[in-house]
Every structure is written in C-alpha cells, then in structure tokens.
C-alpha cells in the first residue's frame, strides 16, 4: 500500500539518504534496520511529512502523494511514534491521549472529561497498562509513557503505524503486551513499520525487513528466509564476531558499599557492595526503583536514611558535584531530558562535565577541548559531520555515545550506567561493551542498570535484582539465566534471600 522509491535527502549538503526504496504491504509488519545514523528515522520522517524529500516518489495505494506536513500524512492514516517521546509532561494521561482530538459537546468546546477518561482507561487496560488516566504523564516511567504513545496512535484509527524504536525503554513484559497488541492490529489489516536495534524482536514479530547502510538501500528480505548473521552482515558490511566481547578483569576490593539505603516511598533498606573492576548488573522491571537508586547514589535525590561507603569510608553525597568529587560518573537513562543539552554541539556536551580540565583560570582552551573531543569521537566512533554538529541533529544512538563520552572524560572510579545501550545499534553496542570492559579492566567499578536480560547476562559479573523498591535477589555469573532473574524481578520464587 506504500511505495517509496528513489528517496534522497541531504541536510545542508550532507547526504543522509541516497536513492532509497521502501515498500509496505497491507497488514504487514516491516522492519527497518541499519546502524545508528543509517537514515531510518529520516526515511520515516519523510514518509510522515515532517521532512520533505529532495528527490524520489511516494505512492500510497498507487497514488503519488506529496506530504507537506504531518497532518497530510495523518489524513491518510499514517502515524509515527517517534524515537524521542513527545508527551507533554504536565498534562494528564487522558489529556495527552486526546490531545488535538478532544471529545466535546457538539461544537461548544466544552470537554467531555468523564467520557474521555473512561475511554482512556479502557484503551490502557486493553494494552495491559495499569495506570490511572488522571495521572500527570511526567510522573510515569519512560516505559509507561511509551505505551501511552502507542495507545494514542491506536486511538486515532491509524492504517499505518510507524514505530521508531518503541521497545527501547520497555521491559520484557511490556514488550510482550505490545507485541500482542501489534499482532491483533495486524489481523485487522493495519500495517506497521518497525524500527529497532533488537534482533530478537525483529525475528519475533516482523514479516519482512529492509536494510539501510550509510543512507543507502542494501536490500529487503523475508524474515523466514533469512537469519541473524545475514542481517548483521548486510547492516554493518563486515563480520561482527561475538556479541558480548570477553573481559579479563581482576575483581579487587570493595569500592562502593551501600548500607540500608532508603528513600521513603521509592526503595527500602537496600544493601550491596560493588568492587573494583566488577560489572554489577541491576535488573528489575520498569518502576522497580533502579533509576532512583542510581540518582540517590549520585546525589540527585536525597536519601531518607542509610549509609554510603567509598573505599570503606563513610561519605555524604548531597549533590552531583559531591558525587563527582568521589569519582562517580552517571550515564543517565533519558538522554533528551537529563543527558544532553540538545542545542549544544557535540563538543560542548562532551566537555560539560569536565570543562575545568580544558581550561586555565576559567578560560576555555580551544585546542585542549578540541583534542579531547576528537579523541572521544574517534574512540566511540560517533558518526557525525564534526564536533560542531548540534546533538539535536544526531541520530539516537550517536546521541547516546555522546552521553557516554561526557562521562568517560571525567575518568570515573565508579561508573553508573542506566540503560547504556538504549537505542544503540548492534555494532555500536559491541563498541560500548568493549569500552565497559576496558574500564572494568582498568579497575573502574561499574554499576549497570539494564532492562535487557541478554545484556545483563552477557556483561555482568554479578547481578542484583530489584522488585518494587526492594532487593529480592543476587545471582552470580555462573547461575545467571533469564528465568532466575525474572523470578526475582517478579517476586516469583525466593532464592538467596538478602
């Protein structure tokens, strides 16, 4: 029903899509894959009328169309759920769901608040989301907000739903619900474009897959006729090898110890130890309180009680500045609101955490700054036209690398990573894992919060599991399986009681 051909697009001379084609059949789930910056989001922004193409043709049901704005695309039932969330945090869930399509009594403009709330809660429960539609959206976790975005698209009777990395912030259980919904909608003839870096998902739910590399069309495959390795090869154009690279670190003394840490209403009596050179995974469902623990360790949230010890000495961390003095770094989960200054350049973002290192008596030394930034752009393989590019215009995965670079620059002793590979492509993931390994090998103590169990199992030496603000289990490398971790995370069976 949708045919895009010869699509070309350049941003100020920088060609990001070159003669790309894409086809979507009725009731099909079509994956779009490619490395960070390959042009997937741009392609879909052209389909949905956000960007205009420089060349090429789009046909919907055989008719050539020329979308001037997202409204034009919406009229034909093409709805995009963007990679970066677009919820208004101060509105309630209902208000967000009905934004721009509020139910009113005739043309009076008087809102049918009750009815909207009723419909909202029906829609949410259909998606398996248990929230009060009167909740302020900003108070919900990123994962829940994502599901509300999906609900919104479903509510507006879309014929084609484009999902740009919808599951990046979701936990396995939420993903399962989402897939079920997608399958149901597919049976009703709705088509999906599905962008994701998670190979397992693509194979689980998609019918076909189109692959882009560096703004070029590489090919299209039917899912049953292809495999993991072929797709990866098409995507990166080279062999990748092991997904989780090996680490040869020696685990040293306890670097960080947490005793009975509590933030009232969020998590209670948390105790754990993190050692030098160790990667400690923190697993749990969305909303288990993992991010809040990280924020408390970093001085961004006030602890109600409990102690934090670094190198065996009790420390008081009242602010991120204190935390950084103790050598703690914190790669935050939400890059748009907490990780980056979007209007800043790559350079300005990377040096934000350690500007003093690139300055003498308060004056920024451009040469030092540039060489530091060049080093990280190179080391992390950040795909950019240059250090002066605004991070706003970077692809999602590259934005994530900028956040990482920002913290590597502080040379931390303890690094907290909150969902470090969210939205990062398969090649870049491996690069990030390698960096984590290098850090651990150099003796950095790493606390890695992750909702992707394969990642936790592949990377962590040890994992602690949280459920609803409590520590429910600890699993050593040898015993780690998805089942055991899920049991602790859902409060299923009790194992080693902590």
Task: Decide the pairing of beta strands 254-263 and 216-222.
Answer: unpaired
34/339 with CB nearer ligand ATP: 34
Quote the strand ranges of 178-278, DSSP E: 191-195, 208-213, 216-222, 254-263, 267-275
298/433 with CB nearer other proteins: 298
Instruction: Examine residue 236 and tell whether it contacts ligand ATP (CB under 6 A).
Output: no
Instruction: Examine residue 324 and tell whether it contacts other proteins (CB under 8 A).
Output: yes
446: part of which helix (H) or strand (E)? strand 445-449
Three-state secondary structure call for residue 20: strand
Q: To the nearest whole angstrom, how small is the minimum distance from the Cβ of residue 214 to ligand ATP?
A: 9
Largest Cα span, the chain: 70
67: part of which helix (H) or strand (E)? none
Q: Could you say which residues in the range 257-316 bind other proteins, by CB under 8 A?
A: 298, 300
Instruction: Examine residue 401 and tell whether it contacts ligand ATP (CB under 6 A).
Output: no
Residue 454: count of CB within 10 angstroms of its CB: 14
Q: To the nearest whole angstrom, how small is the minimum distance from the Cβ of residue 42 to ligand ATP?
A: 3
Q: Which of 2, 4, 16, 489 binds ligand ATP (CB under 6 A)?
A: 16
Q: Which of 249, 245, 247 is nearest to 276 (CA)?
A: 249
β partners of residue 4 = 22, 58
Q: To the nearest whole angstrom, how small is the minimum distance from the Cβ of residue 219 to ligand ATP?
A: 16
**CB under 5 A: which stretch of 113-121, 326-334, 364-372, 388-396 binds Mg ion?**
388-396
Q: Which sign, positive or negative, has the C-alpha torsion 275, 276, 279, 285? A: positive
Structure tokens at 178: 């989402």
Instruction: Examine residue 41 and tell whether it contacts Mg ion (CB under 5 A).
Output: yes
- Answer yes or no: are the C-beta atoms of 15 and 5 closer than 8 Å: no
What distance in Å separates the CA atoms of residue 382 and residue 387, rounded to the nearest whole number?
10
Q: Which of 393, 410, 434, 490 binds ligand ATP (CB under 6 A)?
A: 393
Q: Considering only CA atoms, give the Rg of the chain.
A: 23
Q: To the nearest whole angstrom, how small is the minimum distance from the Cβ of residue 202 to ligand ATP?
A: 13
Instruction: Examine residue 472 and tell whether it contacts other proteins (CB under 8 A).
Output: no
Q: Could you say which residues in the range 424-443 bind ligand ATP, by CB under 6 A?
A: 425
Please list the alpha-helical segments (H only) found in 288-340.
290-297, 320-325
Q: Could you say which residues in the range 359-388 bind ligand ATP, by CB under 6 A?
A: 383
Instruction: Examine residue 442 and tell whether it contacts other proteins (CB under 8 A).
Output: no
Task: Decide the pairing of beta strands 191-195 and 160-164.
Answer: parallel
- Answer yes or no: are the C-beta atoms of 349 and 402 closer than 8 Å: yes
**CB under 8 A: which stretch of 167-175, 260-268, 351-359, 464-472 binds other proteins?**
351-359
What distance in Å separates the CA atoms of residue 267 and residue 297, rounded to the nearest whole number?
13
38/439 with CB nearer ligand ATP: 38
360/497 with CB nearer other proteins: 360
Instruction: Examine residue 467 and tell whether it contacts ligand ATP (CB under 6 A).
Output: no
Q: Which of 192, 200, 255, 189 is nearest to 223 (CA)?
A: 200
Instruction: Examine residue 64 and tell whether it contacts other proteins (CB under 8 A).
Output: no
Instruction: Examine residue 396 and tell whether it contacts Mg ion (CB under 5 A).
Output: yes
Q: Which of 95, 171, 395, 450 binds ligand ATP (CB under 6 A)?
A: 395
Instruction: Examine residue 299 and tell whether it contacts ligand ATP (CB under 6 A).
Output: no
CA 31 distance to own-chain centroid: 18
**CB under 6 A: which stretch of 37-45, 120-128, 234-242, 304-312 binds ligand ATP?**
37-45
Instruction: Examine residue 42 and tell whether it contacts ligand ATP (CB under 6 A).
Output: yes
Instruction: Examine residue 142 and tell whether it contacts other proteins (CB under 8 A).
Output: no
86/319 with CB nearer other proteins: 319
Q: Could you say which residues in the range 352-371 bind other proteins, by CB under 8 A?
A: 352-353, 355-356, 359, 362-364
Cβ burial, residue 124 (10 Å; 0-12/13-18/19+): buried
Structure tokens at 277: 């050179």
**CB under 6 A: which stretch of 136-144, 166-174, 332-340, 395-403 binds ligand ATP?**
395-403
What distance in Å separates the CA atoms of residue 317 and residue 305, rounded to the nearest whole number?
12
Helix axes 426-441, 396-408, angle to 10 degrees: 10
Interacting residues of 326 by C-beta distance below 8 A, sequence separation 6+: 310, 315, 317, 413, 414
Positions that interact with ligand ATP (CB under 6 A): 11, 16, 34, 36-42, 83, 383, 393-398, 425
Question: Which positions touch Mg ion (CB under 5 A)?
Answer: 41, 83, 396
What is the contact surface with other proteins in residues (CB under 8 A)? 12-14, 298, 300, 319-321, 323-324, 330, 332, 337-344, 348, 351-353, 355-356, 359, 362-364, 385-386, 388-389, 406
């Amino acid at each position: 029903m949708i045919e895009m051909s010869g699509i070309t697009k350049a941003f100020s001379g920088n060609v990001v899509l070159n003669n790309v084609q894409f086809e979507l059949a009725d009731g099909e789930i079509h994956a779009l894959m490619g490395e960070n910056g390959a042009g997937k989001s741009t392609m879909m922004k052209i389909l949905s009328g956000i960007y205009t193409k420089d060349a090429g043709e789009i046909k919907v049901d055989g008719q050539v169309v020329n979308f001037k704005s997202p409204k034009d695309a919406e009229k034909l039932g093409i709805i995009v759920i963007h990679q970066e969330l677009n919820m208004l945090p101060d509105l309630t869930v209902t208000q967000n769901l009905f934004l721009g399509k509020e139910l009113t009594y005739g043309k009076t403009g008087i809102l049918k608040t009750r009815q909207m709330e009723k419909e909202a809660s029906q829609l949410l429960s259909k998606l398996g989301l248990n929230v009060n539609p009167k909740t302020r959206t900003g108070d919900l976790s990123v994962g829940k907000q994502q599901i509300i975005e999906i609900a919104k698209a479903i509510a507006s009777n879309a014929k084609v739903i484009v999902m740009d990395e919808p599951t990046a912030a979701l936990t396995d259980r939420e993903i399962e619900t989402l897939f079920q919904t997608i399958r149901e909608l597919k049976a009703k003839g709705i088509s999906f474009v599905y962008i994701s870096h998670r190979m397992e998902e693509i194979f689980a739910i998609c019918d076909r897959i189109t692959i882009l590399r560096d703004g070029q069309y590489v090919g299209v495959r039917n899912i049953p006729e292809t495999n993991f390795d072929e797709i990866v090869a098409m995507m990166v154009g080279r062999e990748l090898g092991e997904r989780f690279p090996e680490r040869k670190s020696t685990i040293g003394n306890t670097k960080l110890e947490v005793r009975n840490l509590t933030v009232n209403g969020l998590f209670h009596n948390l105790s754990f130890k993190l050692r030098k050179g160790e990667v400690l995974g923190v697993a749990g469902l969305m909303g288990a309180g993992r991010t809040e623990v990280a924020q408390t360790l970093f001085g961004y949230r006030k602890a109600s009680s409990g102690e934090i010890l670094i190198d065996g000495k009790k420390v008081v961390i009242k602010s991120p500045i204190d935390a950084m003095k103790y050598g703690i770094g914190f790669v935050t989960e939400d890059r748009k609101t907490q990780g980056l200054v979007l209007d800043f350049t790559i350079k300005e973002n990377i040096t934000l955490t350690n500007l003093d290192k690139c300055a003498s008596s308060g004056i920024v030394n451009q040469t030092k700054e540039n060489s530091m930034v060049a080093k990280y752009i190179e080391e992390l393989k950040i795909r950019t036209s240059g250090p002066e590019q605004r991070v706003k215009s970077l692809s999602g995965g590259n934005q994530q690398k900028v956040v990482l670079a920002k913290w590597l620059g502080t040379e931390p002793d303890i690094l907290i990573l909150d969902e470090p590979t969210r939205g990062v492509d398969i090649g870049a993931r491996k690069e990030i894992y390698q960096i984590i390994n290098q850090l651990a090998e150099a003796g950095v103590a790493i606390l890695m919060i992750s909702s992707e169990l394969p990642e936790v199992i592949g990377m962590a030496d040890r994992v602690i599991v949280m459920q609803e603000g409590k520590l429910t289990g600890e699993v050593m490398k040898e015993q780690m399986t998805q089942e055991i971790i899920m049991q602790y995370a859902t409060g299923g069976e009790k194992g080693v009681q902590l």
